Amino acid sequence: NAGVMQNPRHLVRRRGQEARLRCSPMKGHSHVYWYRQLPEEGLKFMVYLQKENIIDESGMPKERFSAEFPKEGPSILRIQQVVRGDSAAYFCASSPSVAGGTNEKLFFGSGTQLSVL
Amino acid sequence: GESVGLHLPTLSVQEGDNSIINCAYSNSASDYFIWYKQESGKGPQFIIDIRSNMDKRQGQRVTVLLNKTVKHLSLQIAATQPGDSAVYFCAERQGAGSYQLTFGKGTKLSVIP
């Protein structure tokens, strides 16, 4: 059973370009979460999605950032017009479809390291 | 601001000794806590969790203690091994129904062979 798969592992973008980060949850998991981690910091919640629905995006900047989790395919975190401050590690996590929608025992991917030049 | 924090940013221990990593939290409504281990270049790996209705939980070589009176959480690692070297994060869920985990900044554990 493959874990949470994220790609690419490393992404380099110039200021003003777009960054697309992909996440395939664990098999059987329908809850996806995106977190951002700055160097020597803890992870910060960005957004929580279920299939075709954004449940909580309170941690995501209102501008330039968007996320989706389509019926088919991976979840995508999209950052438009990237700036240097967007440089960070972006982690995706998934959890099983549990009654009550809890996010216990998140399983994390290996992350995408975004570097903005 | 942060509601989860750690007392010690770095910890060095001799191989074979026990390690204790501490974490303070400020939200008395938090009902669920998790310890994660993060190795360089990898995502956080689940170690152990505990609910707020418990004060102790044991796993393989690891024990988590929860003191709700002083809002303190600790992770004890028995017979620390070189493979335990990593950054350890505590995380809390701020109440049932919350979707978010709030992470502390982490403690770097270095095991001296």
The tens digit of pLDDT for each residue in A3-46 reads 999 999 999 999 999 999 999 999 888 899 999 998 778 899 99
Residue A114: CB atoms within 10 Å: 21
pLDDT at A38: 87
pLDDT at B4: 55
Instruction: Give CA A90 to chain center in angstroms.
Output: 6
Task: Tell me whether B94 touches chain A (CB under 8 Å).
Answer: no
Task: Tell me whether B106 touches chain A (CB under 8 Å).
Answer: yes
pLDDT class for B5, splitting at 50, 70, 90?
low
Per the prediction, chain B carries an average pLDDT of 89
pLDDT at A101: 44
Please say if the pLDDT value at position B7 is more than 60: no
Beta strands in A5-81 (DSSP E): 5-7, 10-13, 19-24, 29-37, 43-50, 53-56, 65-68, 75-79
CB contact set of B53 (below 8 Å; sequence gap of 6+): none
**Mean pLDDT of the B30-58 span:** 92
**Mean pLDDT of the B69-74 span:** 94
Does the beta-carbon distance from A55 to B99 stay under 8 Å? Answer: yes
pLDDT at A41: 81
Q: What is the tens place of the pLDDT at every residue in A94-108? A: 988 653 344 467 889
Query: Among candidates A33, A1, A29, A8, which has minimal Cα distance to A110?
Result: A8
pLDDT at A97: 62
Task: Tell me whether B69 touches chain A (CB under 8 Å).
Answer: no
Range with lowest mean pLDDT among A35-39, A47-51, B30-34, B91-95: B91-95
Q: What is the tens place of the pLDDT at every residue in A39-96? A: 778 899 999 999 889 999 999 999 999 999 999 999 999 999 999 999 999 999 998 8
**Among B44, B99, B105, beta carbon nearest to A56:** B99
pLDDT at A29: 87
Residue B69: CB atoms within 10 Å: 7
pLDDT at A99: 35
pLDDT at B21: 96
Find the residue in A nearest to B99 (Cα): A103
